[in-house]
Structure 1
Amino acid sequence: MADKAPSDAKSGCNVFLLEPENLSRDRAAAEEPEDPNRWPRHLARKWTLALFFGTCLLYCARMAMPICAVSMATTFHWTKIETGLVLGGFFWGYCLTQILGGYISDKVGGEQILFLSAVSWSLITAATPLLAHLGSHTVALMTGARFLMGMLQGVFFPSLASLCSQRVLERERAILMSTLNSGCSLGTLLLGGFGSMLLVNHSWEAVFYCTGVLSGLWALTVWLCFLKGNVSVSRMQSTEYSQRTSTPWLILLKNSSVWAMIIAHMCACSTGYTLLSWLPTYFEETFPHASKLVFNVFPWLVAVPSAFLGGYLSNYLITQGYSVASVRKIMQSLAMGGSSMFIMLLSRPVTFSSAVTLVSVAMGMSILSSCGVSLNVQDLTPTCAGALYGFMNMLGAFMGLVLVSLSGYLIDVTLSWTTVFAVIVLVNSTGLFVFLVFGDARRVDLHVYSPLIVI
């Protein structure tokens, strides 16, 4: 049932939208194919496949350090606090380039930003082992390398959000974003399996070398197949984008639904980063004789199909008449609430098989956030989705930095994982509560740019 947009008293003006939400969306969808910025269907499919592999390799590079952290800590005699500093260095850099990457992508398009980002982080990944053996200050060197990696990868997802908003039809965005998020899970899965074999049969250095080379090959393929000689790929011609000269951040950030999305995204990111960073250490310390291949593979084996199913479930619910806001909240409830239930069960003594099962289900559910707050930014502000996504991703990365470092401290001091899992559940529950109460899916930028505004 269609929802009507109310007047926005908080923005300092009275706003009256003359059409129901669903009718506006239907009309917009009918006009979208005529937009010269939208990818034709055949090109959209090629880009989707390319970006799927790109996000896969991005997460391979991102997860190389967490997978190798235990081996590197043994080699260089790191404490848990020092390991936490190294792992947390990524998020310091990741915070710095989020808004910049999204802003530039909103202005000129995201394809070339993605390419330059991939070239850069593939080089730093391949160079990480060389930096580690440069001197005796390995903690400082590796923290710096992770900081640089975070900066280089920081522009990637805001650029994807901008591309999704500008190049993809609204009715196809859930499928695209769920596909790309499944690429993240597949990357973690592949590195968990392949990286574990390299660790056992070769060395931790081999993990970085292989990941860096493969990422460089992907960037070369994108250049040759999509970007070489195409000078107009990032030229924005849409009237909606060309008429906008600046983003009214003060007005947008006064809206409660925007802040609900930001807070939920912060909480989801920080808990996800903490699990990604510390789960390999949890399994190796709690079950020292267990196979690395099992706990580095099974959680992500579940997450890959879960991401695809989330996209189709989201679209199905919308076609059945559920409002977009309701669907976003349903998916986010499954992602944050459902995963927290299973994480909480890890606080008690469990067997190895039970721990793997609980983590696998939790990861499979948490990935559904790709159809919740990750898409909500395009519902609320499609004209500046990249910059706003960069802003909330920056806050999520900063909170991730705090939570990853705090987790290292808690493990080192309490010698127990129970407190860490309790903190994760608390953060998830807080973000979900705020989103359920204040979240929405009505476009906020229309309140600023639409000719239907009455002041």
Structure 2
Amino acid sequence: MEMFASKKRKMTISGLLFIGMVLSFFDRVALNVAIIPMGDEFNLTSSQTGLAISIFFISYSLMQPLGGWMTDKFGARVMITVSLLSWSLFTLATGFVWSFVTLLLFRFVFGIGEGPFYPASMSTIRDNFPENERGRANSFFLSAQNIGGILGTALAASMVVAFGWRGMFIIAGIVGILVSIGFWFILKPKESGETTITTQKRKKVPLKLLLKIENIWKLVSFKFLSNIINYGLISWMPIYLVKEKGVDIVAAGGLMAIPYVVGFFMFNVSGWVLDKYMVGREKYLAAAGAILSAIFLYLMSNATSVGMFITFLTLNSVALSFFGTVLYTIVIKYAPQELTGSASGLVTFAGQIAGAVSPVAIGFIITLFNGSYNAAFWFLVFAALAGVFVALSIKNHSKKPIKEVDNKTAVI
């Protein structure tokens, strides 16, 4: 019989993963604020700004399948620690860039370093939490993105004003390096009689079965579309507020923190709803979130005041929290445990490809339409509507989620 970590151990692991995700999101989101003074210093065009934001996602996405495979091979503890340490070093290095080219280089290697963290975290949740707790554990972990977003906008903006954008990256990198050292020691398995999935010998499953998982391509497609929206908003909204609405950089950072605060709570609410009421029907929550997102994106594009815009952006954050939680909950509930890291890595890979595409596409659209953001909003609306149809096509599951893996197919 499978045994899982003790309650105290699970709380410790949840806390550590939460901190790691906060740092991860801070380090990637902070650039969206810092790029405003960086753009002035390096004379960046809208297209160059989009590329500077997207270059991280190119390397990060490429590392997702590899990071998932490395997690399954070397273990989550090793990959989480190595990932956090390496991306923190490259965050620190970003404070020393001297041109647009070096900015692209350091952001590219930063993405490589962060790549394994997500699939390793998914495997850690799968290993230590029983199936009926994974929705909540996963949503709590994902909600850390919102705290990282708060810090990466409001705090980063204040740090840029106080220490300059270079000082902000250097400080963030040093903090991450120190935390990574703590991770290695705290995540060390307990030397006791407690038996968890991580201490059991896992049944080896051919990696080719990953591509035969029944819903995997639908999950991949939905993740791509959802991140087109998510990273399109994250990357361009601070710039939009400063340049189109006349808000100063600190105020913009504070306003952008509001949706993250609400999203933090809604991520955890959606996880509770998934575990209690949506077992086997997770796709309907995802579809509802996509429909609401399309509505609020349209309203954002027509907002006549900053207050209305932030209100609709906040409501959109609520919608994003619904379908953001569903994807990985499906993976960690229904994927074969031997392929959890690889499956989550492949899904995340699709999401980060979208992270690379969306900022560049929006920058190109803005340039193409002579600085107008209306077409960019419609680009995001269409992505949300497409997500509705993909979500509804996902096959439902019974309450008994995991089927035996054989040499024919694996089922999510």
Common fold, TM-score beyond 0.5? yes
Q: Are positions 1:195 and 2:180 aligned together?
A: no
Give yes or no for contact 2:5–2:196 (8 Å, CA) kept in 1. Answer: no
The match for 2:112 among 151, 171, 179 is 151
Tell me, in whole angstroms, the C-alpha distance in 2 between the residues paired with 1:139 and 1:440. Answer: 47
Check 1:234–1:156 CA distance in 2 against 1; reply closer, same or farther (3 A cut): farther
Deviation (angstroms), 1:331: 2.4
**Match of residue 247 from structure 2:** 289
SS at match of 2:95: helix
Match runs of 1:258-407 below 5 Å: 258-290=216-248, 291-318=251-278, 324-326=279-281, 328-383=282-337, 384-407=339-362
The match for 1:207 among 168, 175, 197 is 168
Give unmatched runs, 5+ long, in structure 2.
Answer: none
Give yes or no for contact 2:333–2:402 (8 Å, CA) kept in 1. Answer: no
Give the aligned residue type for 1:315.
Answer: D
**Match of residue 50 from structure 2:** 84
Match runs of 1:436-451 below 5 Å: 436-441=392-397, 446=403, 448-449=405-406
SS at match of 2:187: helix
Give yes or no for contact 1:111–1:233 (8 Å, CA) kept in 2. Answer: no
Give yes or no for contact 1:90–1:149 (8 Å, CA) kept in 2. Answer: yes
Tell me, in whole angstroms, the C-alpha distance in 1 between the residues paired with 2:229 and 2:330. Answer: 19
Tell me, in whole angstroms, the C-alpha distance in 2 between the residues paired with 1:389 and 1:372. Answer: 12
Check 1:315–1:438 CA distance in 2 against 1; reply closer, same or farther (3 A cut): closer
Which whole-Å deviations, capped at 9, do the CAs of 1:264-313 have from their partners, x for residues lacking one?
Answer: 11111222122111111111112123522432311111111111211122
Tell me, in whole angstroms, the C-alpha distance in 2 between the residues paired with 1:444 and 1:226. Answer: 28
TM-score by length of 1: 0.82
Tell me, in whole angstroms, the C-alpha distance in 2 between the residues paired with 1:233 and 1:272. Answer: 39
Find the structure with the greater CA-based Rg: 1
Deviation (angstroms), 1:448: 3.5
Check 1:251–1:104 CA distance in 2 against 1; reply closer, same or farther (3 A cut): closer
Tell me, in whole angstroms, the C-alpha distance in 1 between the residues paired with 2:405 and 2:72. Answer: 17
Tell me, in whole angstroms, the C-alpha distance in 2 between the residues paired with 1:368 and 1:382. Answer: 24
Which whole-Å deviations, capped at 9, do the CAs of 1:175-223 have from their partners, x for residues lacking one?
Answer: 1111111111101102212111122333111221221122122112212
Decide which moves more: 199-208 or 147-156.
Answer: 199-208
Check 1:312–1:245 CA distance in 2 against 1; reply closer, same or farther (3 A cut): closer
Deviation (angstroms), 1:235: 9.1
The match for 1:61 among 15, 27, 50 is 27
Deviation (angstroms), 1:229: 9.9
**Match of residue 46 from structure 1:** 12
Tell me, in whole angstroms, the C-alpha distance in 2 between the residues paired with 1:59 and 1:140. Answer: 23
Give yes or no for contact 2:125–2:134 (8 Å, CA) kept in 1. Answer: yes
Please tell me the root mean square deviation across aligned C-alpha atoms, in Å. Answer: 2.6
Which whole-Å deviations, capped at 9, do the CAs of 1:59-88 have from their partners, x for residues lacking one?
Answer: 111112111111100111100111111111
Deviation (angstroms), 1:46: 0.5
Deviation (angstroms), 1:245: 4.2
Deviation (angstroms), 1:236: 4.4
Give the aligned residue type for 2:5.
Answer: W
Give the aligned residue type for 1:281.
Answer: I
Give yes or no for contact 1:109–1:235 (8 Å, CA) kept in 2. Answer: no
